[in-house]
Amino acid sequence: MNAQEKDELLAQAVRLREEGHPEQARERLLSLTAAFPEAVDVAYQTAWVHDVLGLEAEAVPYYERSLQDDGLGEEDRRGALLGLGSTYRVLGRFGQAVETLRQGVSEFPDDGALQTFLAMALFNTGEHHEATQLLLRLVAATSDSPHVQRYRPAIEHYAADLTRTM
């Protein structure tokens, strides 16, 4: 099988997942993974389909493989970092979740989803102060509620030091 055939089969598997046939997509992706064990795009899609099926533990090695080098495009890398961090968190691997999601936020600082998942992982590690700060800043920056926007400067100010009083 050549690279063009791989890309066509990968696209078919992605379509199957997107159209609600994750088990069929998984079968195809596992075959592709066997044929192209170093292909990071195949590894990423294989991880994703395992997550969709609730097979988080099986997803981890595929996510890890997909992030081994810089072979993924920007959006897929963003998704792989979020997927791996979230999967670590679901599996109770909170330290790894924080580390992975911090890396994601570092690479994609404007990604509110990465920030939100990092806040959840920080909560799980007992870092409630930082988790709340992240979420307050995100709400202030992204909410289109006129009530939140009216108080945005105050929210951002207090988020900087939640323990400070007068």
CA angle 38, 39, 45 (to 5 degrees): 125
Residues 12, 14, 17, 20, CA torsion sign: negative
Q: Residue holding tokens 């800043």? A: 137
CB 84 within 8 A of CB 72: no
CA-to-CA separations, 133 to 120, 148, 161, in angstroms, rounded: 12, 15, 8
User: What pLDDT sits at residue 123?
Assistant: 98
pLDDT band, very low/low/confident/very high, at 140 (cuts 50, 70, 90): very high
Tokens of 144: 């289109």
Does 1 score more than 90 pLDDT?
no
Closest CA to 2 of 39, 40, 57: 39
pLDDT band, very low/low/confident/very high, at 146 (cuts 50, 70, 90): very high
Q: Give the list of residues 6+ apart from residue 114 with CB closer than 8 angstroms, or none.
A: 78, 81, 82, 85, 101, 104, 105, 108
Does 2 score more than 90 pLDDT?
no
The residue count for the chain:
166
16-24 long-range CB contacts below 8 Å, 24 or more apart? 17/45, 17/48, 17/49, 17/52, 22/49, 22/52, 22/53, 23/53
User: What pLDDT sits at residue 102?
Assistant: 98
| pLDDT more than 70, % of the chain | 100
User: What pLDDT sits at residue 87?
Assistant: 98
pLDDT band, very low/low/confident/very high, at 161 (cuts 50, 70, 90): confident
pLDDT band, very low/low/confident/very high, at 84 (cuts 50, 70, 90): very high
Does 166 score more than 80 pLDDT?
no
Residue 72 backbone zone (phi > 0: left; psi -120 to 50: alpha; other: beta): beta
